[in-house]
Amino acid sequence: MIEFDILELIPEASHELVKPLIFEKHLNIKIVKVRKTKHGDFKKLRNGSNQITLNHINNKYRFLITLIHELAHFKVYKNIKKRVNPHGVEWKNTYKLLMLPFLNNKIFPNDILSKLATHIKNPSASTDSDTNLVVALNKYDYFNDNKIFLNDLSEDCLFEYDQGKVFLVKRKLRKRYICKELSSGREYLFSPVARIKSIEK
């Protein structure tokens, strides 16, 4: 079983490549409301079938990458009979193999394509841990909340995050920002792509 509107959520140029991957026996793909903790997941169901769930998002490029990520989990489960690390070498190799045909500028804009090509050389468990790819993908997100990304602020700027808490940007580390919560004085590490509301001093 497959959600037939799934093709509406990915770039049109990818349809013919995706169809043979999603119309598999014993594979059910569900589109669900956005979850904060993950973009998608794969699991084996008690009835013997397999299920992929994907967040319903408007960013077709992010959705496609997540779909291929989860399809790689399905392929590993289907083809490798022993227990393996969920994001180990078997998944990495399968993900690369599935993604390679999609690496062209008819499917992805060049700014995403270059970052994605680098990403799949050694893919991580989550695309969110690849800041360069996330920044490129975020350009194609639609937000209606007047927020910006933390990496758009400079040091000593103030911002609001998480139910009105106010933070001061102190300094940037290699991959994260150290920010101080004003009310408690405690310091926290933030992702550069955290969505925040800038506050003027």
Q: What is the pTM of this model?
A: 0.80
Task: Strand 50-55: give its sheet, edge to edge.
Answer: 27-32, 50-55, 40-44
CB 114 within 8 A of CB 130: no
User: What is each CA distance from 181 to 146, 149, 158, 184, in whole angstroms?
Assistant: 21, 17, 10, 6
What pairing do the DSSP bridges indicate for beta strands 50-55 and 177-181? unpaired
What six digits make up the tokens of 195? 């969505």
Q: What are the pLDDT tens digits along the chain (201 aa)?
A: 444 578 999 999 999 999 999 988 889 999 999 887 889 999 999 888 999 999 999 899 999 999 999 999 999 999 887 888 989 999 999 999 999 999 999 999 999 999 999 999 999 888 888 888 988 998 888 766 778 889 889 999 999 998 889 999 999 998 899 999 999 999 999 988 888 999 987
Cα angle value 107/109/110 (rounded, 5°):
120
CB 168 within 8 A of CB 123: no
Check residue 164 and give its pLDDT.
84
Residue 40: closest CA among 10, 8, 73: 73
